[in-house]
Structure 1
């Protein structure tokens, strides 16, 4: 299926049922760190759970309503990234992403998010990309900030994870902002 290089050693590919065991293993190995910020690791208790997630993602892809891809580094699954939905009326989407413990600090998430932004604006002709992150998750928040997103607000007590409410920071990037930033970077 779809495969896109993000650097010489890393690529993105649409998650397929054949990836379920590898996805489950990665979640299981990084369950505590991922689960600190996201709810899904507590719901991922066997390979079948990952398979069901992948099948739902493929269904959303066929319905033109988002999808998830795997992030691979040196031929090992490193994490996942996805378009959480597609709002075709307002031409916007939200990107979600996570990495396994052994793959953090390599720039993989930033490169994957950049590839998804490029795809959203140039191939899908969307007008806006959003990223939401827990207010206290500084590492995840650094990615949209590094890529030129604007902080648009904070949703208080957005979710309840690990016995506490978490605020969400909403970031947005418009197509015209990305184009201007891309032009500026190309000119040096």
Structure 2
């Protein structure tokens, strides 16, 4: 199990498991970034009130307690600016999925690359997983660049992977195995 301790990536950039009192900041960021996030995330129409964020955080807390998933708040100068997670952890397959989003004002600064790099370390060193999956929309060049920068290998295209507000989009599946990840990072 991963602890609730904060993981400092710098003096100002921190990852930590989502907490119940994050709900107002989480909802505010989702609401402020709705148009930006809507390009790639299909769940925004289900996140329209503070109670939706409260419910989501409750689910993530239960998942982290059971070891099924770990969802981290990304904070910069103590402001929640995004989320990154290890989802669908399968201990028998020693695998998990990586997911994330970041407020538009903080994109293009290397923040998510640093966070995903730390997720990889947590998955391989702390949890003992052997394989990570990262699925991204085929047209999401920024997300694909993160996967490629961190040495994920493009495996295949998933046709009609997701209904994104009435348009079916294809995903690219990337994978990273422990053998491809060096421990000197």
TM-score with structure 2 length normalisation? 0.95
Q: How does 1:56-71 map to 2 (within 5 A)?
A: 56-71=59-74
Whole-angstrom distance in 2 between the partners of 1:164 and 1:7: 39
Q: C-alpha displacement at 1:13, in angstroms?
A: 0.8
> Is 1:145 aligned to 2:148, yes or no?
yes
User: Which residue is equivalent to 1:9?
Assistant: 12
User: Which residue is equivalent to 2:35?
Assistant: 32
> Is 1:85 aligned to 2:88, yes or no?
yes
Q: C-alpha displacement at 1:102, in angstroms?
A: 1.4
User: Which residue is equivalent to 1:97?
Assistant: 100
Q: Secondary structure at the match of 2:151?
A: coil
Q: C-alpha displacement at 1:148, in angstroms?
A: 0.3
Q: Secondary structure at the match of 2:9?
A: strand
RMSD, aligned α-carbons = 1.1
User: Which residue is equivalent to 1:156?
Assistant: 159
Any stretches of 5+ residues in structure 2 without a counterpart? none
Residues 41-64 of structure 1 deviation map (CA, whole Å, 9 limit, x = unaligned): 211001110000000001111111
User: Which residue is equivalent to 1:115?
Assistant: 118
Residues 8-66 of structure 1 deviation map (CA, whole Å, 9 limit, x = unaligned): 32000110110000000000000011111011221100111000000000111111100
Residues 66-92 of structure 1 deviation map (CA, whole Å, 9 limit, x = unaligned): 021100112211100011111101100
Any stretches of 5+ residues in structure 1 without a counterpart? none
Question: Contact (CA 8 Å) 1:35, 1:42: kept in 2 or not?
Answer: no
Question: Contact (CA 8 Å) 1:133, 1:168: kept in 2 or not?
Answer: yes
User: Which residue is equivalent to 2:109?
Assistant: 106
Question: Contact (CA 8 Å) 1:6, 1:111: kept in 2 or not?
Answer: yes
Whole-angstrom distance in 1 between the partners of 2:89 and 2:149: 24
Q: C-alpha displacement at 1:162, in angstroms?
A: 2.2
Q: Which has the higher helix share?
A: 1
Report the count of equivalent residues. 182
Match of 1:172 among 167, 172, 175: 175
